[in-house]
Amino acid sequence: MPTVIALDVSLSMRRRGSMIGNEYSPNYESLTRHQLALHGINTLLHYLQVNSKLEFVSVIAFSSLYEVICPFTRDYEGIRSKLRIIDECDKTFIEGALHGVNNVIMAEWGNATACQVILITDGNPGIGPMSLGNSLNSLNVTQDVNPFPLPFPYPGKLSIVCIASQQDPSLQTGLPLYQRLADLAGGDSIVLVPESPLSKHSIMTCFQKLAEANYVSFQGYLKCGHLGSRILLSPAPMPYTKKTDFELAPGLAISKTIEICGFISVGDVGSPSSISRHLVLPLTTEKNSSMQGISLEEESDTDENEDEGKMPSFCVLLHGALKVENMAALCMLNNEWYGFIYSWADTKKKSNLMLTVLEPGSDVVPWLGNFSNLGPLDTVKSSPVNFPVRPTEKRSYTQNAPSWIRQVGLQSDIQKILRHARKLPDKTQNFYKEVNRLRRAAASIGFIELLEGLACILERECTLLPPNLNPDCTIQMGHVASMIRKPEFHELRYNIPPARTKFQPGS
């Protein structure tokens, strides 16, 4: 998941953080807290470079203001080069930094993507109006313009790393405040403090622990009959937890062995509701007895250091087949939990193997029915079935109902009536169809004021019509304005009929 690293560059970060030996010692080390923070960030980037190459990372430097040092990128070397030229500024303002983090994430990913936020500071909460204590004390004050940035407006996890010795007095004061900040962020947000004494080694251990906790990769085995391959899912799927009215169901995790049950046309799959999507990346598959589908007979002349691109891969075979045939693979993720694997292209030149995770259950795609009822195509060749299967009877709710959740929906329905009115008498049927549709919808929800408003609009339109329009426009709109005010037409069973005039077609 995308990561934002917010680095404190206030003057207090330039204080000496560690000193080993004396200046005459060969192992002498004297580093500022800023230098230790950069060492920790490099440790994190190295971990991502080895284990999670697809993670997007952005860096923000903050003091009283914030600055985007590096937008979201996978170029970790570029991030390292920009970290070397960061200058120190004035005082720490944590609330402003979190506002900056939210702005960057919302602009790039929106409010639906889960993100990691790593806040690196020296543990000093500050003093005065910009201090962390002052920001937390003003939480109960209503702020319509710039409310407190926590909890995040997106699924997020906050990890606060305090570059300070555990015996530091300022850390002892600030630690409860930072813990309260993590509690406000919710989820698995944590506060980390390196072990004493403060040094490169303790910082590296702290960030290594952070990386291993937050960036756990999912490695499993994709199986199809006697073929199979080790795979990596990116981003790693989260356990599914279902919330009900009275309880919270325990998390359900995807099995390490994903088995393909069959293949179905992409057009039949459509766009079902899903939990998440993941890239399916092949891993080097060892030839041993524990991996099904992998032959134990190894050729004697095979070079152990053979180029990975020349090695046969089931994932490459599956991707090519699904792409050419325009098919999707229905796979079992766990007991009564399914997903679809298919070829997805973000550009015209590049496509990837993707996994869409459905909600748990075997009947979660209505037009496909229960997955246990699906079978080979050969069994239904005499009477092929096209999805979705449509019911033979016409149900009453198949008619489109007006949606007035937003003001623009109501405005567009009224404007549609007026457009038809200006084209009378040719559009008489369409005009009365839309009038009665809006009248029934308003009467169904008790929105009688809308009918009076529509009558006033039609009467006003009669006075504003240009002289070159057909006189039937004025007659029909005046007729509707008078009839729609009558109590009998507030009932659903009656429709307003057109007024009989000599201008109507066929008269």
Q: Looking at the structure, tell me whether residues 24 and 101 fall in a common domain.
A: yes
Q: What six digits make up the tokens of 202?
A: 């303790």
Q: Looking at the structure, tell me whether residues 116 and 55 fall in a common domain.
A: yes
Distance CA 367, CA 466 (A): 51
495 domain residue, yes or no: no
Q: Looking at the structure, tell me whether residues 35 and 177 fall in a common domain.
A: yes
Q: Which residues contact 455 (CB under 8 A, 6 or more apart)?
A: 480, 481, 482, 484, 485
Alpha-carbon dihedral angle through residues 245, 249, 251, 253, given to the nearest 10 degrees: -110
Distance CA 115, CA 3 (A): 6
Q: What six digits make up the tokens of 25?
A: 């010692």
395 domain residue, yes or no: no
- pLDDT at residue number 178: 95
Residue range of the domain that includes 258:
218-239+254-286+312-380
Q: Looking at the structure, tell me whether residues 428 and 279 fall in a common domain.
A: no
Question: How does pLDDT run across 478-503, given as a tens digit for each residue?
Answer: 999 999 888 888 888 788 888 887 76
177 domain residue, yes or no: yes
304 domain residue, yes or no: no
Q: Looking at the structure, tell me whether residues 225 and 178 fall in a common domain.
A: no
297 domain residue, yes or no: no
507 domain residue, yes or no: no
Q: What is the CATH number of the domain that holds 68?
A: 3.40.50.410
179 domain residue, yes or no: yes
- pLDDT at residue number 299: 39
Distance CA 144, CA 13 (A): 33
Question: How does pLDDT run across 355-381, given as a tens digit for each residue?
Answer: 999 999 988 988 888 888 888 767 666
Q: Looking at the structure, tell me whether residues 20 and 126 fall in a common domain.
A: yes
- pLDDT at residue number 202: 93
Residue numbers in the chain where pLDDT is lower than 50? 24-25, 289-305
- pLDDT at residue number 427: 87
Q: Looking at the structure, tell me whether residues 68 and 82 fall in a common domain.
A: yes
The sign one gets for the Cα dihedral 224, 228, 229, 232 is: positive
Please count the structural domains in the chain.
3
- pLDDT at residue number 358: 93
Q: Looking at the structure, tell me whether residues 119 and 196 fall in a common domain.
A: yes
Q: Looking at the structure, tell me whether residues 347 and 441 fall in a common domain.
A: no
Q: Looking at the structure, tell me whether residues 480 and 374 fall in a common domain.
A: no
302 domain residue, yes or no: no
Please answer whether residues 14 and 122 qualify as being in contact, where contact means their C-beta atoms are separated by less than 8 angstroms: no
Q: Looking at the structure, tell me whether residues 205 and 127 fall in a common domain.
A: yes
Is 408 in a helix, a strand, or coil? Answer: helix
Distance CA 32, CA 171 (A): 16
Distance CA 272, CA 328 (A): 13
Q: What is the DSSP letter of 111?
A: T
Q: What is the CATH number of the domain that holds 326?
A: 2.40.290.10
Q: Looking at the structure, tell me whether residues 209 and 262 fall in a common domain.
A: no
Distance CA 196, CA 96 (A): 30
Alpha-carbon dihedral angle through residues 207, 213, 214, 218, given to the nearest 10 degrees: 130
